[in-house]
Amino acid sequence: MAKDTEYGQSTEVTTEYIMSYVAPLDPPLEIDDQMVIVNVRPGGWVKGPGISGKFIAPGADWLRAMPSGVLRLDVRGLIQTDDGAHIFVSYNGVIKHSEESAERLNNGEVMTEKDIPYFVTAPTFQTSSEKYGWLNEVQTVNKMVEIKFGVDGYVKYDVFVVR
């Protein structure tokens, strides 16, 4: 058993790029002051060294505003690979906007990872495909690359396995 006095970093976290994806988004539906739901439209793309596909229905983002103003994401989506496999993706995450970035996003501007102070999520995947079964066995992180709300809305992420 570790001693109570053994405190401090004792391991390292590394990441390995596995894919990028763009999910097309419908305009946000405001439920109340604390919740917005964003439908994920079919289409977009998923591409990486070992995967290629697109999003199909169903899928959506539930965004909940916390008292601090931070947004908590609860997202579920479905990927269909070019070779016919289905991969369920689910993730939670945190978005920290500035007043300016929130206003710009809500006005339909394309925002990049440089425009929003913090936007990171933690996806897990589920599939019965042997080819993509390795996704069942890893934890990943999404780093937002671009996002746009409104007409022709979308979100683009780079996805990394955490090691």
pLDDT at 4 over 80: no
Question: Does residue 6 sit within a domain?
Answer: no
Q: How many domains does the chain have?
A: 1
The parent domain of residue 22 ranges over: 15-162
Residue 2 located in a structural domain: no
User: Has residue 5 been placed in a domain?
Assistant: no
Question: Is 26 within a domain?
Answer: yes
Taking 70 as the threshold, does the pLDDT of residue 1 lie above it?
Answer: no
Q: What b/e string do you get for 70-92 counting C-beta neighbours within 10 Å, with b at 16 or more?
A: ebebbbebbbebeeebebbbebe
Write down the pTM of the prediction.
Answer: 0.92
The CATH number covering residue 76 comes to: 2.40.160.20
Residue 17 banded pLDDT, cuts 50, 70, 90: very high
Output the pLDDT for position 2. Answer: 64
Segment 42-78, tens digit of pLDDT:
999 999 999 999 999 999 999 999 999 999 999 999 9
